Structure 1
Amino acid sequence: MEGLLFYHEGGFVVIGTIVNTLAILVGSMMGGSIKKGIGEKYQNALYNAMGLAACGLGINAIVQSMPKSTFPVLFIISLAIGSLAGSFINLNDRFERLTKRFSKGNLSQGLSTAILLFCVGTLSILGPMESALHDNHTYLYTNATLDFVTSLVLASAYGIGIALSAVVLFLWQGSIYLLSGYLSSFLTAELLNEVSLIGGFLILSSGLSILKIKDCNALNMLPALFVPIVWFIIKAIL
């Protein structure tokens, strides 16, 4: 398994994910250093900027994905079921308690937003598959550039704890990479579109929370991402 992770036809394949992970780590360290010298007034300005950016990215994903949806009510059902499941498990409170061990601030809000932005997206899902199956790292290099800037700004607002999202990203992309042979036929354009649509709503909800417009508890809605996957599996079996 270790050989599969690092080498493919003599090439160093997981390099794309490593670059993506390092980009987040470097961006987080740089942003964390900036945060130490920023006053509360400017931190609030950064919160507003990140909140608006998250809302914009979420709306963009929704606008792009909704017209392509072949199951118009699936995202509604997914958000409803996912929210109920997440609330039952109480993901948001559990995550907050965990992050408070590392930080006294509102790191959980920034970290949850970072994880959604870094992991829920076409580049982050298709990137490791392209890397493993076709030895093409373009998607991941592009993703690394975007994630570097995002992590820098997030860490300048929430602190260096944003670097923890790099671990989540590495495990996420690494898992997709290892399973790429099995996932390539299952991850159809239709399924990715439904996941992107729901991801857009989750990113938008994070933006609304950052802007203090409405605390949507985005983490409690996270299970919604798995509902389309279950639906497509049932559909394939039937």
Structure 2
Amino acid sequence: MIGTIVNTLAILIGSMIGGGIKKGIGEKYQNALYNAMGLAACGLGINAIVQNMPKSTFPVLFIISFAIGSLAGTVLNLYDRFERLTKRFSKGNLGQGLSTAIVLFCIGTLSILGPMESALHGNHTYLYTNATLDFITSLVLASAYGIGIAFSAAVLFLWQGSIYLFAGYLSSFLTADLLTEISLIGGFLILSSGLSILKIKDCNALNMLPALVVPVAWFIIKAILSF
């Protein structure tokens, strides 16, 4: 799990450096960082959508996924629960930053295929590349939202660690088509986080997270019916 450990450490170090920078900059510069992160998240989200939508073999699946996922997330009240939890540790808007960080760090091809490639072939290239990107992202996020962004490192470690441990079982199930659908939904989630940071529209991205489960359930049902 060396690749996942490096990725986790990259986020921790980036968060500590960014948290230190935050203490020394004024509100005007923090707002500039919010704008930068919001625009970057929107750009990354749009890029993921544009790349994956033409590859989707089930063009309406992401719409159904968001409809079902948003309803489930709202019933479970994920956003408010997460906000209350983060406010125990911070008086600012750490919840918004953490939710953005978790989506950016965990919902992506590198973060899913990386631990599988590491477990099955001993190839850590994907995770080292991901670690570099996450280091920069965590540094900027922490400079805007504070060192609390480091909590996302624990989420990433559990996420990638689980994939690493079950790589043998997941390799045959995580097909290119399924990864396309997950990446497409991930793109919309990242875009929605960017819109929230820019205060254009508060989409409550956390309430939409269950949308990621719908394509997985669909492909499982599809595989069962094909027997």
**Which TM-score bucket, shorter chain as reference?**
over 0.9
Q: Distance in 2 between matches of 1:140 and 1:86?
A: 30
What is aligned with 2:169? 182
Equivalenced residue count is: 225
What is aligned with 2:180? 193
Offset of residue 21 of structure 1: 0.1
Q: TM-score, with normalisation over the residues of structure 1?
A: 0.94
What is aligned with 2:118? 131
2:86 is the alignment partner of 1:99: yes
Q: Distance in 2 between matches of 1:121 and 1:186?
A: 17
What is aligned with 1:19? 6
Structure 1 counterpart SS, 2:24: coil
What is aligned with 2:57? 70
Q: Distance in 1 between matches of 2:37 and 2:205?
A: 15
What is aligned with 2:109? 122
- AA aligned to 2:196 is S
- AA aligned to 1:156 is S
Task: Name the Cα RMSD after superposition.
Answer: 0.2
- AA aligned to 1:75 is F
2:149 is the alignment partner of 1:159: no
- AA aligned to 2:57 is T
- AA aligned to 2:26 is G
What is aligned with 1:10? none
Q: Distance in 1 between matches of 2:3 and 2:88?
A: 31
Q: Give the percent of matched residue pairs that are identical in Structure 1 and Structure 2.
A: 89
Offset of residue 139 of structure 1: 0.1
Could you tell me which runs of 5 or more consecutive residues in structure 2 were left unpaired when the two chains were aligned.
none
Offset of residue 201 of structure 1: 0.3
What is aligned with 2:70? 83
Deviations 1:162-215 (A, max 9, x none): 000000000000000000000000000000000000000000000000000000
The structure 1 segments of at least 4 consecutive aligned residues displaced by more than 2 Å after TM superposition are none
What is aligned with 1:215? 202
Q: TM-score, with normalisation over the residues of structure 2?
A: 0.99
What is aligned with 2:158? 171
